[in-house]
Structure 1
Amino acid sequence: MSLLSVSAEPAGRSVFAGADIAATARLAWREGYPRPRFEDAVWSLVGWADAPVQMRVTEKNWPFDRIAYPPWRVVAKELALAWIATQDERVLALPHARRIPRHPRTVYARIYHLTFWLNWLHERRITTLAAVTQDHCEAFLHEYGVVRDKETGTALRDKTGSSLRTVVSTMQDITDYGELLSADRHRPGFRPWGKRSPRVVTGAPSRPQVVIKTAPLGDHVLRPLLTACLHLVDVLGPHVVDLRTALHAERDARQRVEWSRNLRDADRLASLVDAYLRTGQPLPRLEDAQVTKRRRCGWNPRDPLLDVNFQHLLRPTGHRDIGKALLVQARPLLEEAVAEVGTEYVWCRNAAEAPRADTGEMIPWSLPLSHRSADALIRVAGHACKVATSALTGMRSSELMELTVGCRRTDDVYGTGLARHRLVSKVIKARRWGGEVDEWVVVEEVTRVIALAEQLTDARPGQPLFGQFPGFESNGAITWLRQWVASPAGLRVGLEPIPDEPVHPRRLRRTLSVEMAARPGGLLATKVHFKHLQVATSEGYAGRPGGAQAVFHHEWKKEEAKEKLKRTVEAYRQFEQGQLPAGPGADALLAAFRAVETELADHEPGPAKVVTDRQIELLLKKKASVLHMSAANYCWFEDPAKALCLKLTGAKAAVAPLTGLCDSSRCPQATHHLVHRPVWQTTADNGAVLLASPRIPAGEKERLRADHERSMRVLEEIDKAAGKAG
């Protein structure tokens, strides 16, 4: 008998009784891990081989035993298995069942909501789902839709409609999968909210177009953040690796020592102290936490021996501490030694020199560190690797978590002799369950970051590099970085404090796309060659048109189109105010602006007689599409045959100008605006300084003089055009 002919009454025994959950849902399973069975009170998916790294352990354990009424636990199990085992013939027989399997993370969330719903019914002494009415559903949704204080129960806010859609969908699934349920089900003909969809019930907005609400990071945050990350990676990174190696070696050696309790041999203690005095090395200093502990135990705060680390001092003897009698006897000797050589932390004594981040002055890369501070610095360097990778690749947090030790790939695919760097990871978002393997083409800086991260982890090849992390905030990567940079250690190496603003992979991804779209010589170019960044991401897009980098490329191009239109409208508004463009292409641009002005003048905008920005944008959209922004000029690339850069190379056709060969003072499609004046002014000032230097050869001065005269001419043209009345 088919499932469709099952009566409205519960069948008694579940069709999934005794089922192997992994086999039924077709989940790949690791060897040695227990496989959950249908009858288990908690289904453990810890052995799921394709689980994304971002999936928490709690999400891998589905606790059906939290449902108070035992028969309804069976209902929840049948629904959960039906949600992921959509290809099972018993599920395929249901006319209203979903055909696309839900992700196990989603199923965990639905079990969570279902548990609240069923326990809510149980608290009201409802013992069968057949007794559920629409009034019950409305009352539960109203109560469940309010966020309350856990202690006082005071209502704090209402949940959004989008967050309640899953709740309504879960409640309706009891009817949609009713013919499969064996322990209990709704009465015939009843479905919560009838045929109304969860979106309609909750008032959640539809998704005609995805609107990106994440704001990019401002310059005042991105600049110090990126500077700190790359300084930690490129300058301090090798020293941090050496420190980590020394720490691990010291800890391994300490574990091999058979420790004795207290030293009582005065001669051995005297020989140890004498060795420090002969070399002039300070005695080992105790951790601050241990100093505090000594004070609580009654040590005098003014005791000269308060911060002496006896355990480290006595390590060659294999003793953990000094006997009380010996301490009294040897106190004069120890106090004399402290007075002569002092005390200092053990790690990073006589540190090698490294340049400061701001001035380049060579200083010791670190002051002496305690064990705890050394561990913290290693952790900060690891966080810097994570943040830098996110900032320079645009990878999502789920994709960062999927990076493994050994994910770097470097090759010469085109036979040019130039290295091409790639990272292998997985795309999780919008992909089936465990994700899909993909590659990111990256700049060389990213490979150095990953190489350092691999040296700062104990993970073996193939294991997660960064592992699971909840985010960059909430005591995450950014919190550690911000605290270290603002500490005396960070200020000492010339780093600028990172402002206290939210930083997370979404904002870094958004910032990268906006920077690449709007700033060809932008902020990131202060530490990373920005054109290389654009070339790398474009190459990744072209190499794998359907890959994850193509998605980021699409976001970047959307932002670029918006920025081009914004800059074009801005130039038009300046034209209206009498601030005209300069440069060889100024006349052509002015002709286009005057045509728009004429069209707006002849247009009847309506009773208000007001021309809106939107109307101007529509008229300038075609012109904006050919704009290519450079740091020193705008290139209106309408006719490749007129492009000076293409003529210089002999190229007959191209889809974009060759920015590296641009001579905007001679190209008929280039214009200069007030926004470009600071760049030309800086070039002119630098040229004047070099021309005044007696160290510059005469032949070089001739070339510099020509460049300086060109810069001054462009500045004069910009000022003259901006002052015209029109």
Structure 2
Amino acid sequence: MNLAPATAGVPSLSLFAGADIAATAGLAWRDGYSRPRFEDDVWLLVGWADAPAQMKLSEKKWEFNRIKDRAWRVVAKELALAWLATSDERVLALPRARRIPRHPRTVAARLYHATFWFNWLHERRIPSLSTVTQDHCEAFVKEYGVIRDADGTVIRPKSPNGLRTVVSVMQEITDYGELLSADRHRFGFRPWGERSPGRVTGAPTRPEIVVKTPPLPDEVLAPLLTACLHLVDVLGPHVAELRKELRAERLAKEADPWLVRNLRDEGPLAAVLEEHVRAGRPLPRLDDWQVSKRLTQGWDPHDPLLKISFLPLLRPTGHRDIGRRLFPSVRPLLEAAVAQVGTEYPWCRDAMDVPRADSGDLVPWSLPLPALQAHALVRVVGHACVITTSALTGMRSSELMELIVGCHAPAAEDAPGLTRHRLVGKVVKGRRWGGERDEWVVVEEVVRAVTLAEQLTDAEPGQLLFGSFQGFNSNGAMDWLRRWVTSPAGERLGLKPIPDRPVHPRSLRRTLAVEMAARPGGLLATKLHFKHLSVVTSEGYAHRPGGAQAVFHQEWRKAEADEKMRRTAEAFRQFQDGQLPAGPGADALMAAFRAVEDELQGHTPGPANVVTDRQVELLLKKKAAVLHFSAANYCWFEDPAKALCLKLAGAKSAAAPLTGLCDSSRCPQATHHLLHRPVWQTAADNGTALLASPRITAGEKNRLRAEHERSMRALEEIDQAAGIP
């Protein structure tokens, strides 16, 4: 085809003229939504049926009219449609065109960069793309490649990975040149020639995947997890009933609007007041902000009627307000009723008792609440549901957003008392448009959180459960939760404040992986059945080997392998420093460490004559692979025939030790190290306190005395081996 530039500013007839964008790109479209056409200067994709929940409205609105030059608007439209419709014969005819369609979210981002490029050329009075030179391209990237403040001062350069897209867009104007009708680059010109965008910007073609998100520290995770589980499991059923009452109240108002006229006769109001007095039911109390409003209007602060909410009081009478003329005559009735029954907020009266989170003492689950605080409590519990689901499943935010009402698959009882819970969702990351159906095997705590979330939403079955959000900080979830926990309501329930640190599904996913991999006695283990959590994650991996839970399983195993190597190397360094292991397996472990030392002494490390950490890790790799963590010991599971836990269970072999049957004081493959000392010290202290208690029976004290002696013996061995006097 002829690659001579088209006449700038006078668009010729495009090959896509009159095209239906959805039909050409193969986008499933909802009924009742307008379908964008090629000639439209704004393409609205709000009708795209398979749009991911995390796709913002701005990403569904492609505003080509932001490009100042009309000819280049056509160029941008043709590029956008070509990026989507890669199977179109007009695109297939281009030798350099991309064969894999780009996701509409990606296209929206590329159009964003293209708009800046075209407008940069327009501002510099470049008449046509055919006159663009390499100098223009480099000048734009240099100017566009920095981040400036409001005053135009350069703050920092943009990342090379971010600039790759800009360079790619500029190069693809040439790659798709034969398709462009309004304007194109001159024959033979391609920005930066055959150099790839990665080489131009210095970004690696395949950047190394490094997990940069740190796990949540204990001081954040502990109060966060405690608050969420308490809200879901303890307050959840009561809040669900409260939400039903609030919804019924709202629907009643919508279905039966109150009369606008004022009360003319005191009889109906007197009957309502008499009913309140007879039942001993306080009159409805006004919200504090409404009380403040009355005070600004001139009400006496000592008026006994100041805090009465007249609107719900008059509703049974079919009236909306008390007229000024009638008010003096009904005032005595109101004052008498207030004196006898008082006033109280309408919601959560006579709340049932629930245990506090800290002490277990019984307290009402809520004090009476005004309407605004009642709705706020429902919202807080809803946020606790999504955070709990994220923390105990490791789901990405995109996967949480794709969960729908009814996502909990019917529980399957594989054996008596053995139930498997699954969440049916969708994975969109790295998948074809619309995502793919997937399942997560989850613990029962997650099922309770999801079931409660379904009771707290107006969404119908099949609609999104949690909706769209950009992390728990952007949608206010953490702010709402923190404020409620630190409020008098949270303090009354024994909840500790949550530190003001960012919490994101990525950090919760990383925390779960690290806790499962490296901290068998960590915070998650104290809040729920930790072994069950590990088992169901593995089952989810086995159930769908290519699913999203398999990706998390791989991340967990990678973190576990790294932690095993780190702990083994740490134990080896302590051995070199004279801090020896204790326990029945100490001699075997020290023999292995001595063999490593002999290898290192007989090895010539290089000109620097320094043994590197990498060399140590390579020699310890085999030993680290058999390490298993327990709260009070290390298990070096090399020979199943020697494992005491398997002997106690009557099993001949297993791939891993049975931690629940571990007796590290007798197992020949168990070792105790200095980091395990606090666990044994706690056990010894508890034993001392129980043995001194007069409430413990003599038979039970005999058993406790044996446990206490075992703990003290382990402490002595640890101290002696570590050289602690």
TM range (shorter): over 0.9
The 5-angstrom pairing of residues 277-356 of structure 1 reads: 277-356=277-356
In structure 1, give the amino acid aligned to 2:678: P
Question: 2-side partners of 1:613 and 1:18: how far apart?
Answer: 65
Q: Which residue of 1 aligns with 2:488?
A: 488
The 5-angstrom pairing of residues 184-583 of structure 1 reads: 184-255=183-254, 256-412=256-412, 414-583=414-583
In structure 2, give the amino acid aligned to 1:385: C
Is 2:77 the counterpart of 1:77?
Answer: yes
> Displacement of 1:196 after TM fit?
2.1
> Displacement of 1:286 after TM fit?
1.4
Contact 1:386 1:477 in 2 (8 A): no
Contact 1:564 1:625 in 2 (8 A): yes
Deviations 1:590-609 (A, max 9, x none): 11112222333344445655
Gaps (5+ residues) in structure 1?
none
> Displacement of 1:136 after TM fit?
2.1
- Judge which range, 614-623 or 625-634, deviates more: 614-623
> Displacement of 1:468 after TM fit?
0.7
Question: 1-side partners of 2:613 and 2:134: how far apart?
Answer: 50
Question: 2-side partners of 1:204 and 1:296: how far apart?
Answer: 63
In structure 1, give the amino acid aligned to 2:199: V
Question: 1-side partners of 2:2 and 2:417: how far apart?
Answer: 69
In structure 2, give the amino acid aligned to 1:104: P
Question: 2-side partners of 1:496 and 1:665: how far apart?
Answer: 37
Question: 2-side partners of 1:296 and 1:696: how far apart?
Answer: 65
Contact 1:402 1:464 in 2 (8 A): yes
The 5-angstrom pairing of residues 146-165 of structure 1 reads: 146-150=146-150, 152-165=151-164
Contact 1:114 1:170 in 2 (8 A): yes
Question: 2-side partners of 1:125 and 1:721: how far apart?
Answer: 80
Q: Which residue of 1 aligns with 2:43?
A: 43
Q: Which residue of 2 aligns with 1:140?
A: 140
Secondary structure of 1:319 counterpart: coil
Q: Which residue of 2 aligns with 1:105?
A: 105
> Displacement of 1:329 after TM fit?
3.5
Question: 1-side partners of 2:353 and 2:130: how far apart?
Answer: 77
Question: 1-side partners of 2:166 and 2:288: how far apart?
Answer: 51
Contact 2:585 2:667 in 1 (8 A): yes
Gaps (5+ residues) in structure 2?
none
Deviations 1:648-686 (A, max 9, x none): 334333221111222211111111112222222333333
Question: 2-side partners of 1:270 and 1:50: how far apart?
Answer: 59
Q: Which residue of 1 aligns with 2:590?
A: 590
Question: 1-side partners of 2:467 and 2:275: how far apart?
Answer: 44
Change (3 A) 1:12 1:535: same
Change (3 A) 1:316 1:416: closer
Secondary structure of 2:262 counterpart: strand
- Judge which range, 706-715 or 636-645, deviates more: 706-715
Q: TM-score, normalised by structure 2?
A: 0.95
Secondary structure of 2:469 counterpart: coil
In structure 2, give the amino acid aligned to 1:717: E
Question: 2-side partners of 1:595 and 1:569: how far apart?
Answer: 14
In structure 2, give the amino acid aligned to 1:325: R
Secondary structure of 1:320 counterpart: coil
Change (3 A) 1:170 1:303: farther
In structure 1, give the amino acid aligned to 2:545: P
> Displacement of 1:340 after TM fit?
4.5
Contact 2:227 2:495 in 1 (8 A): yes
Change (3 A) 1:693 1:292: closer
Contact 1:120 1:140 in 2 (8 A): yes
Secondary structure of 2:473 counterpart: coil
Contact 1:283 1:341 in 2 (8 A): yes
Q: How many equivalent pairs are there?
A: 721
Secondary structure of 1:186 counterpart: coil
Question: 1-side partners of 2:413 and 2:345: how far apart?
Answer: 50
> Displacement of 1:54 after TM fit?
0.8
Q: CA RMSD in A?
A: 2.1
In structure 2, give the amino acid aligned to 1:443: V
Contact 2:413 2:420 in 1 (8 A): yes
Question: 1-side partners of 2:641 and 2:510: how far apart?
Answer: 35
Q: Which residue of 2 aligns with 1:123?
A: 123
- Judge which range, 277-286 or 604-613, deviates more: 604-613
Contact 2:284 2:312 in 1 (8 A): yes
Change (3 A) 1:119 1:368: same
Contact 1:8 1:179 in 2 (8 A): no
Secondary structure of 1:419 counterpart: strand
- Identical-residue share of aligned pairs (%): 72
In structure 2, give the amino acid aligned to 1:139: A
Change (3 A) 1:329 1:689: same
Secondary structure of 1:325 counterpart: coil
Deviations 1:52-109 (A, max 9, x none): 1111222112111222222221111110000011111111111111111100001011
Contact 1:410 1:419 in 2 (8 A): no
Q: Which residue of 2 aligns with 1:183?
A: 182
> Displacement of 1:339 after TM fit?
4.5
Contact 2:6 2:182 in 1 (8 A): no
Q: TM-score, normalised by structure 1?
A: 0.95
Q: Which residue of 2 aligns with 1:713?
A: 713
Question: 1-side partners of 2:302 and 2:109: how far apart?
Answer: 58
> Displacement of 1:7 after TM fit?
5.2
Contact 1:259 1:318 in 2 (8 A): yes
Question: 1-side partners of 2:646 and 2:381: how far apart?
Answer: 45
Change (3 A) 1:148 1:722: closer
The 5-angstrom pairing of residues 659-678 of structure 1 reads: 659-678=659-678
Deviations 1:25-74 (A, max 9, x none): 11122223222221222222222121111112221121112222222211
Contact 1:470 1:476 in 2 (8 A): no
> Displacement of 1:525 after TM fit?
1.5
Question: 1-side partners of 2:35 and 2:65: how far apart?
Answer: 18
> Displacement of 1:121 after TM fit?
1.8
Deviations 1:321-362 (A, max 9, x none): 221222233334434544444322110111111111111111
In structure 1, give the amino acid aligned to 2:550: A
- Judge which range, 682-691 or 309-318, deviates more: 682-691
Change (3 A) 1:139 1:305: farther
Question: 2-side partners of 1:602 and 1:639: how far apart?
Answer: 28
Q: Which residue of 1 aligns with 2:704?
A: 704
In structure 2, give the amino acid aligned to 1:592: A
Question: 2-side partners of 1:343 and 1:156: how far apart?
Answer: 58
Question: 2-side partners of 1:58 and 1:320: how far apart?
Answer: 43
In structure 1, give the amino acid aligned to 2:160: G
Change (3 A) 1:155 1:288: farther
Question: 2-side partners of 1:722 and 1:230: how far apart?
Answer: 40
Question: 2-side partners of 1:343 and 1:441: how far apart?
Answer: 49
